[in-house]
């Protein structure tokens, strides 16, 4: 998978968040978008995911040297962020089964094993609304990392995680994201210590 940004710009009202972003993301590499709070790093990640529009420039997607329509890119990308909602009326088992029917898991994995790998087996049949913030973050990370897609986008992935949750995050990235394109948005180096390339959003002001 390849994602190319050409002279990309985003503004809110009359204020530009960033401009003239030229960058190329490729499968097998891991990237971090960094910058202080409010600098636009999450906005750029949302644009890459296709969930937020931009005001100038272009973004293109290709897989195996074939163009991927931007309207269908959601099938190729998973996204985890603290501000994204879960279906809290469902139990985790129901939620993961629903997700599996929509996007599917990585080959050889099923919902039961993913629940185990996320250390959530003791709460598998509890409604997600009763989960702690850290447990909900585990669910979001599992949904993103185990989805059968070539691109994984993570916004502030260690939010609300305890020490065990942080260790789980590193294990999952190491084992299940080796040959995929991973982009992390964060201002905490612990969240992107494994990344090959760092993009400081302040360079595009």
Q: What is the pLDDT of residue 50?
A: 94
Q: Which residues contact 62 (CB under 8 A, 6 or more apart)?
A: 1, 2, 4, 68
Note whether 187 and 34 are within 8 A (CB).
yes
Provide Rg for the chain, Cα atoms. 17
Specify the pLDDT at position 205. Answer: 83
- Report yes or no: 172 and 145 within 8 Å, Cβ to Cβ: yes
Name the pTM for this structure: 0.95
Percent of the chain with pLDDT over 70: 100
Q: Could you tell me the domains of the chain?
A: 2-204 (3.40.50.300)
Running DSSP on this structure, what letter comes out for residue 129?
G
Strands of the sheet containing 181-185, edge to edge, are 77-80, 151-155, 181-185, 30-34, 197-200
In this predicted model, what pLDDT tens digit does every residue of 121-173 receive, in sequence order?
A: 999 999 999 999 999 999 999 999 999 999 999 999 999 999 999 999 999 99
């Amino acid at each position: 998978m390849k994602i190319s940004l050409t002279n990309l710009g985003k503004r809110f009202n009359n204020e530009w968040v960033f401009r003239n972003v030229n960058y190329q993301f490729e499968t097998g590499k891991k990237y971090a978008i960094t910058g202080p709070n409010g600098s636009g790093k999450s906005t750029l990640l949302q644009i890459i995911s296709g969930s937020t529009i931009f005001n100038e420039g272009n973004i293109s997607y290709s897989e195996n040297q074939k163009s991927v329509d931007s309207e269908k890119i959601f099938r190729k990308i998973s996204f985890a962020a603290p501000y994204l909602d879960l279906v809290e009326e469902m139990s985790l088992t129901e939620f993961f089964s629903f997700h599996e029917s929509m996007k599917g898991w990585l080959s050889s994995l099923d919902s039961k094993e993913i629940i185990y790998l996320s250390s959530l087996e003791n709460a598998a049949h509890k409604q997600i609304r009763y989960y702690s913030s850290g447990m909900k973050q585990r669910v979001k990370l599992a949904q993103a990392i185990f989805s059968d897609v070539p691109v994984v986008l993570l916004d502030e992935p260690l939010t609300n995680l305890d020490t065990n949750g942080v260790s789980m995050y590193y294990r999952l990235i190491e084992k299940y994201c080796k040959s995929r394109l991973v982009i992390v948005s964060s201002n905490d180096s612990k969240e992107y210590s494994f990344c090959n390339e760092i993009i400081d959003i302040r360079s595009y002001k």
